[in-house]
Structure formats: structure tokens, C-alpha cells
Amino acid sequence: MLPKLFFGYFAFAIIVLSLLVITRRNPVHSVMWMLLLFFQIASMYLFLNAEFIAAIQVIVYAGAILVLFLFVVLLLNLREELLTNRFISAWPVGLVFAGAIFAGAVSAVAAFVPNFSGQYTVDVINRETHTKALGQALYTDFLFPFEIASLILLIAIIGAIVLAKKRMRS
Amino acid sequence: MTGLFEAIVGPGSLDYIINLVIMLIIILLKIAAVVAVALLHVAYATYFERKVIGHMQLRLGPREVGPLGLFQPFADGVKLFFKEDIIPADADKPLFYLAPVIFFISALTSLSVLPFFDGFAVANINIGLLFLFAMSSLGAYGIVLSGWSSNSKYAFLGGLRSASQVISYEIAMGLSLVGVMMMAGSLNLSDIVRAQQHYPLGLFAVPQFLGFFVFVVAAFAETNRLPFDLPEAESELVAGYFTEYSGFRFALFFLGEYTGMLIMSAIASLCFLGGWGLPSFVTAGLPVVAAKVLGLFWFLAKVYAFMFFYYWVRATLPRYRYDQLMAIGWKLLIPLALANIVITGLVKIWIKGMV
Amino acid sequence: MPLVMPDLKPITPEIVMTCLALFILVADVFIKRKETLALLSIIGMAAAAFTFALPGALNTTFGGMFISDGYSMFFKIVFALNVILTILISVKYLAVERVNFGEYYALLLFSTLGMMIMASAGDLIVLYLGLELMALSTYILAGFIRYDMKSNEAALKYFLLGSFASAFLLYGISLAYGLTGTTNLDRIAMTISEKGLAGKPALTLSMIMIAVAFSFKIAAVPFHMWAPDAYEGAPTSVTAFMSVGPKAAGFAVIGRVFLMAFPMVRAEWVAVFIPIAIMTMAVGNIVALSQTNIKRMLAYSSIAHAGYALLGIIAGTADGLASMMNYMLIYAFMNMGAFAVIIMLRSEGFKGDAISDYEGLSKTHPLAAALMLVFMFSLTGIPPTAGFMGKFYIFMAAINAGYTWLVIIAVIFSAISAYFYLRIVMNMYMKDPKETVTLTTSPSMGLALAITTVAVLAIGVLPAKVIYLARVAFP
């Protein structure tokens, strides 16, 4: 009963906050609602016994990425920004597509039946702590994807430097 | 009444709910105690600072209010509380109100995971260290938003400077603590303290001297203290991001900053200096309660030593230039912290191989 | 849970590539002449390609996450050719555009590495990460001429729509994972058949999401909107690179995922791909008619070619797959050749990417015009060029699989395409030169043109070898 209540609250809050994020006219306010949204998502992870992911969600998304968003948004000309429309004129088309995808997703939900559990059950995670379990999985079974991900991050750094820093017309 | 209740939520759940309520009350009491004690400490940290710096500069510091000036913090508090609350024209009001609160709350929330003595923390969670990072990264919002919403150039520049500084140094700080996590094998702060007792002198600061160095420098930058106080550099930016704040909102920033310093000192104490961990020959003969109380004082002594170090540095070093600050963070501290992680890992494997 | 050292032999080419790319990145700091870096990259790439043939290279490793088989090898050869030809045609071009930086080569190699990982992915996570590695490098390359607004626009559009596609892919993957409890392609297929998941709306939705994401990558209609702007704005050498590499990689994963993980829902995904293929051919060929910029025209042409190649996937037979692989190889040669000629026209202060710039090229530069003629004939599919053979085998495979009506549509659109390809030829041979066009030539460019021309003509005349290679590669 109580878990369901909590889940319901977080799910509802996530939806409402997402709507607030995309409908605010002031981009700084959008970012702030998004911050709250990230917290709800982090709570959802906690709810799933994924404490490490929850902390990372806050540290990386709320603490780093969103602050950078805020940086960019702060440098916008807010007076002009407030006068422009929040959505481009084709938004009804987008709404139709979003609705279609939503309907598809809802129809898909029925197929999900909780009938299997993997190697990492809640008991294992509680015993080993989530951080340890995740680390072990990442460095053994998922070593290969992990290494590729590190290359992707390297590319991102190179790209940022090449596009922003490199002196032109050398 | 009971019957009706059970009919709604199911049998046996009344006891469950009552237990829950009792638990909640206990947690609330714990929180109240920690917050009250911490705020008192913060108040006297300001007094301590003025005294220390005063003496270092051959002055006496506050001595008018109360004996030895001991009531000075309260006088300051009362003054700030009754000052006029000014909101600049064209400020973004909701965010202007919100910013100091975010800043202060993010600092206060960090207190919840600190173990003050053996077995006492408001929330003894597995990811304590990560929680501290998460909360300290939120402090950046208070800074950026206060800078932006004030509608003032000084505040805005201060906010941008501070946010980029905090974000940059957070990386170095996080990485510097990875060595500690690796040695302790846990992110739980109590476990980290316990793990240290198996090491020489009961400290991680000795094997993790690189990490400790990086952490200390990063801690100064994270809290915007000298020599890295560029966001609030008086000579350039008036007071930086909180230039436009007055009265109690200003006090919140002030409190937040000192709470942040206390927390950094506490992390240093817990992760590098052994926290409340006393050598076993001291605790062996003592009753449990006495050992715990002694542990608390031992912990607080380290925290205050670190706070003193903050003040000492402030009285001694000049301010860095902004590009120097960024260069130190990215080109020195982060590589050092990474090297520390690699070395720690290698040594750990090496020791494992020997055993 | 101790780590068991995985078998590294199958993954040697990727390891060599990673080291090479990192080496180029570091060497860039010390080497002032960037041409040296280009040479080193080509040598390194050739060395990596050499390791394809090492003993033990054909195997599955990392617990089924990485599959090295004939199919992936064939695509890796295409990627290697693609990157070598790109480097050859970009050496002088970068100097002309004043963006002669060493990172360019490192990014090309990283992007190629991503494609190689995609082609070998036996797991949806690896597939996604390979795709991101490839795409992220390409986004940066597209915006490489930083002072040029069009290049910026290209990079931004490519990036935004690419991220959108990634979101679709991840949604699809998460649905597939939720249904089957695994991301391994083989095990997904097993679980689908064991639990009788075929036909469930969730699985169909997942399949559609993944198909949409890949359609973005191969620029199939209606997910092609980014392509013309990205192709036009990006540096021409990068346009050449991304019109071949990511597309081939996209086809590689389409073949892998849909035939390996979703064979049970074949009817559904064929039903998704048939309209996409028809629309792709239609839009690509018809919109290309009205283009005045040759890079934009080739963008639409590239869209259209994706449509033809999709027929091989739709056929779904071994022959279909082999003909699709074969088509990618041929397309690499002919498209690279065409872009090489376009790059030659670019010189100091002269863009040379308008179709009118080709007027009278045969009078001023007969050799360049003749080469362009060959590539245009090949892109149209006129014998005896490779393009004809590529289309011929694809259409054959589709007819054998029972899609005659689809082939008829494809042939009609193919005929339409002759108009815009041959318009270039007409401009070159039947009009008088308006202004003097100076060609920017270099030995490496000459080599690239020689390779592509010989390959296009040789495969056109003697196609059996390549067909055989592709047919053997696909089990």
C-alpha cells in the first residue's frame, strides 16, 4: 500500500514537472522545474533500490549538466526570449505524434509481466550494496561497453576543444 | 475507529503506522538536535574566525559584546534579522527568494549523513560520500540563481565565476576521495572511519597524502574561501553573487558558507584524519558511553583544527587570478587526483598479491 | 566474481584502431606537417585491416557481445576503404579550407572504429555505444569549418536529429530488454520464440522504434530531413565520409539486428521497411531533380540509394543480404569518386559546388570531366559501371524473394534518377565554360581517383569476384 502510494506520487510528480518544464516561457524557470524533475527521478531510482544511480542522477544531471544548461540559458537575451512563442506553429502535429507514441506505449505495457529476475536480486543488492554490485557488473560482464563509453567521453572532450578552442586560420 | 481504519488500509497495518510515526518523531528529533548544534557551531565559527584573524593581524577581534565578545554572533544575528529586506528592481522575485534557501538547505542537508560519533548519524546510508557530493553540487544553484535573479552585473559575474569554479573543483574533489573509497571499500562514512583504524596512525591522510592535498585545495575552492574567493572578490565585484542581498537573506548565504566550511572540515576529518576513531588502547578500559563522548570530542577537535587552517590560510595567502585558479584545478589537481587513483589501485593489487 | 580475460583475437582490429587513433591524437602535438599524420593514419588503417586476416580473428568474444564473422569483416573492409579514400581526398582540401588540424584524422579514425564496433555488435548495448562513438565523431567533423555558418548549421542539425534518433533507439532497446530480460541479440531471438512474444504490441513497438532509429542513420524517408543540410554544410570530404560510412554501418546493424534478433517478427518489420523503401526512393530521386547545389543533389541521391539497398534487407534472403553488402561496397567507390571530383573544383576563393560550375568542364579539364562522367554513369546504374551491377544484383535478389512489384517501382525511380545525374554530364559536355575553373590537385587526390575509377570500372566489367566475396561472407 505505502510503496504504491509513493510510486504514484513520484510518477505523478514526474509527469506534472515535465509538463511545467516544456510550457514555461522563461527558460530559467524551465531549468528550475527540470531540477525538481531530476530529484523526483532520483527518488524513483532510490525506490528501485538503485541508490548509486540515484546519487549519480543528482550529481551528474542536476549538479553538472543542468548547471551548464543554466549557464547557457543565463546568457540568452531574456527580454527577446520572453516575447517569442514557446512552441513552433507545427505543435499540433507534434502533439498527434506524441499521442500516437503514448498510445503505443500504453498498449505495450500489458505485455510486461514480472516473471523473471536476473543475477542481481534485491537481496543480493542489499547484501552487497548497490555500488559494489554495479561496479562488479560493469568491470566484468560489461567491460567491453564500459571501455567504448570511455572512448565516447574522450571524443566529447576532443570535440569541445576542437570546436571551441582551436585557433583558426593557422 | 480502529476497525474503520483497518478496513481501509488492511489488518495489522495500524501497528505498522504507529511504529512509522514513532520512527519519524525520533528522526525529527535527531534532525533538530543536529541542526541546532550545527548552527550554534556556525555562529561561533564566525567568532572564532574573527578572533583568529584578529590576533594574526595583531588586533584583538570582537570583545565588546559580552565577556571576551562571546555574544558577538548573537548580536550580529539580531542585527541581520531586523534589517530591511531589499529586493532590487526588475529582479526575478521567485528565484531571488529561492536562491539563498537552496544554498542554505543544500549545506544543511549534508549534515544528515555525517557520523558525529560511533553509530550516530541522522541517516547512516550506504552512499554517504556520494550524497555529500550531490548536495554540495546543488549549492551551485543557489549561487548561480542569486547572481542571475538580482539583475545586477556584479552579482551576475560573481555567480558565473563561482559556478564554474565550484563545478571545476568538484571534479577534483570527487576524484581525490576515490582513493579513500578504494582503501575503505565503501562509500558509507562510518565504514570509512572504521577502515582507517587498521592503518598507521589511524589515518588515511598518510597513505593518501596526494588525495589529501588535492582534497584540501579543492575544499577551499568549493567553499569560495581565500585564496580562491574570486566569486566574492571585494575589490572587483563588491560582494559577488550576494551583492544585492540584505537582511536575513544575506544571513542565509553567510550561514550556508560557514556550514559548508564545517562540512568540508568534517569530511576531511572523517575521510582522511580518522574521524571519531580512537586508538583501541584508549577505548579499551572505558565504558561505551564515555568512549563515544570522547570520540565526539576527538572528531570535533579535528574539525576545529581544520577550521583553524581555513582561517590561517585566509590570513596568510593572497588571492589567485581567475585563469590561475582554473589552471590549477584542471591541469594540476585533476591529473594528480587521477594519478592517486591509479597508484592506490596498483598498491592495492600489489598488497593483495603479497598476501 | 573474478574477471576472466576475454579472447582478444577477434577484437584485434578494433584495438589496433584505438591505439592508432590515440597515437594520431598525441602525435598531432609534435608533428607540424599534418600530411605526415594523414600518411600515418593510412598506414595504420592498412595495418588494422591486415589483422582482419589473422588466425582466430573469426570468433565471438566478450560473452557474445562482440561477433567477428564474415559479415562484419566485409563491412569492416568497406569502412577501411572509406576512411582511406576520405583521408586521401582531404589532405589538400583541408589546407584550402584552412582547417588543417590533426584532430581531423583522429576523429575520422574514431568514427571508423565506431562503425567497426557496430558491424560486430552482438549486443544492443554495444551496438548503441558503437553508434554513438561513430555519430559523435561525425557530428564534430561536420562542424569542422568553424568559421563557416553552413558548417555550423550542418553539425547542429545532424547532432540534434541524431540525438533524437538515439533516443528512439534507446526506447526500443529498453522495451526489448523489458520483454526479454537480455540485450544479447541471439538470446532476444531465443526468448521471443520461447515465450511466444511474437505479435505482442510491445515487441512490435520496440521493433518499430529500433527501425526508426536506424532509418535516421541511413537517411531513409521520412527520417531524412537532416541529410541535405548536413551534407551541404559539412566540409566536402566529411560529406563524402558520412555519405558512405555511417550509411554502411547503419545497413550492417539493420541486417544484424533484424535478421538475428527479430526473425520471428519478420512479417512486421518487412511491413515497416517496404513503405520506407518506396518513400525513400521516391523522395530521394524526385527532390534531387530540382537541386542546384551538387552536394545537396548528392545528398538526395544518397537518400535514394539507401532506398535501393533496403530492397536487399526486405528480400531477407542470403542473396539479398549479400547484394546489399555488395551495393555498399560499390556505392563507397562511386560516391567517393564523385566527391573527389567535387573537392578538386574547390579552390582558394571558389566554392565549386553549384551544378552550373560544371558547365563546359570537358573543354577546360577533359580528364576530370571524364572521371565525373564515369561516376555519374555508375550512380545512375548504366553498364558497364559498377553501379549497374550493384543495382542488378539487388533487384535480382528482390525478384527471387518475390518482390517483383517493388523492383518495378525501383526501376521506375532509377530511370527518373538518370535525369539529374546526366544533367551534370550534359553541363560538362554540351555547354560552354562560363568562367575558368582551376582544379586543386595533389598526388593523394590522384591516387584516390585512380583507385575509385579502376574499382568502378573493374567491378562493372568483372563483378563476380566481389559478389563471391559478399556471398561467402554471409553464411
- What are A37-87's pLDDT values in tens digits? 998 999 888 888 888 888 888 888 888 888 888 888 877 777 777 777 777
Residue A12 lies in a domain: yes
Three-class SS state of A1: coil
Contact between chains at B130 and A59 (C-beta distance less than 8 A): yes
Which chain A residue shows the shortest CA-CA distance from C139? A159
CA distance C291 to C307: 19
User: What's the mean pLDDT in B343-347?
Assistant: 89
User: What's the mean pLDDT in C188-199?
Assistant: 84
Q: How far is A105 from chain B (nearest CA, A)?
A: 32
Task: For residue A111, list chain C residues with Cβ-Cβ distance below 8 A.
Answer: 179, 197, 200-203
**Residue written as grid cell 561467402:** C472
Partners of chain A (3+ Cβ pairs below 8 A): B, C
Tens-digit pLDDT profile for residues B186-227: 888 888 888 888 777 777 777 888 889 999 999 888 888 878
- Look over chain B and give the mean of its residue pLDDT values, rounded to a whole number: 83
Element (H, E) at B25: helix B13-56
CB-CB contact of B115 with B196 (8 Å): no
Model confidence band, residue C105 (pLDDT cutoffs 50, 70, 90): very high
Tens-digit pLDDT profile for residues C45-63: 988 888 887 777 788 888 8
Question: Residue C238: its pLDDT value, please?
Answer: 92
Question: Residue C101: its pLDDT value, please?
Answer: 85
Question: Residue B39: its pLDDT value, please?
Answer: 86
Cis preceding linkage at C384, omega within 30:
yes
User: What's the mean pLDDT in B44-58?
Assistant: 86
- The residue among C136, C5, C14, C133 whose CA lies nearest residue C67 is C14
Structural domain total, chain A? 1
Question: Residue B6: its pLDDT value, please?
Answer: 58
Contact between chains at C98 and A109 (C-beta distance less than 8 A): no
Cβ neighbours around B289 below 10 Å, total: 8
Lowest-confidence region among B88-92, B266-270, B347-351? B88-92
Q: Break chain B into its structural domains and give their ranges.
A: 1-82, 85-354
User: What's the mean pLDDT in A141-157?
Assistant: 91
Model confidence band, residue C134 (pLDDT cutoffs 50, 70, 90): very high
**Residue written as grid cell 564523385:** C338
Phi, psi of B120 (to 5 degrees): -120, 115
User: What's the mean pLDDT in C282-301?
Assistant: 91
**What's chain C's length in residues?**
475
CA distance B136 to B230: 18
For A31, the domain range is 2-86
Q: Does B233 score more than 70 pLDDT?
A: no
Residue A7 lies in a domain: yes
Which chain C residue shows the shortest CA-CA distance from A158? C103
Residue A29 lies in a domain: yes
Residue A97 lies in a domain: no
DSSP states along C169-234: HHHHHHHHHHHHS--BHHHHHHHHHHHT-TT-HHHHHHHHHHHHHHHHHTT-TTS-THHHHHHHHS
Model confidence band, residue B1 (pLDDT cutoffs 50, 70, 90): very low
Model confidence band, residue B30 (pLDDT cutoffs 50, 70, 90): confident
Angle subtended by helix axes C149-180 and C124-142, to nearest 10: 170
CB-CB contact of B286 with B294 (8 Å): yes
Residue A23 lies in a domain: yes
Question: Residue C474: its pLDDT value, please?
Answer: 66
Question: Residue A170: its pLDDT value, please?
Answer: 46
Phi, psi of C351 (to 5 degrees): -70, -50
Task: For residue C179, list chain A residues with Cβ-Cβ distance below 8 A.
Answer: 111-112
- The residue among C346, C351, C350, C345 whose CA lies nearest residue C364 is C345
Which chain B residue shows the shortest CA-CA distance from A29? B95
Question: Residue B3: its pLDDT value, please?
Answer: 55
- Asked if chain C contacts chain B via 3 or more Cβ pairs within 8 Å, the reply is no
User: What does the block give as the cell for A42?
Assistant: 532520483
Tens-digit pLDDT profile for residues A2-13: 778 888 898 899
Residue A137 lies in a domain: no
Which residues neighbour B46 within 8 Å (Cβ) at sequence distance 6 or greater? B73, B76, B254, B258
Task: For residue A54, list chain B residues with Cβ-Cβ distance below 8 A.
Answer: 127
C68 CB burial (10 A radius; 0-12, 13-18, 19+): buried
Considering only CB atoms, A108 lies closest to which of C2, C133, C205, namely: C205
Element (H, E) at C61: strand C60-61
- Residues 99-158 of chain A with CB under 8 A from chain C are 104-105, 107-112, 116, 118, 136, 139-145, 148-149, 151-152, 155-156, 158
Phi, psi of A115 (to 5 degrees): -115, 0
Residue A68 lies in a domain: yes
Domain of A77, CATH number, reads: 1.20.120.1200
Its ipTM equals 0.89
Which chain C residue shows the shortest CA-CA distance from A165? C146
Question: Any idea what the Cα angle at residue C152 is, between residues C149 and C156, rounded to 5°?
Answer: 140
Q: Does A126 score more than 90 pLDDT?
A: no
Three-class SS state of A169: coil
Tell me if chain B has a CB within 8 Å of the CB of A82.
no
Residue A147 lies in a domain: no
Question: Any idea what the Cα angle at residue C204 is, between residues C198 and C210, rounded to 5°?
Answer: 125
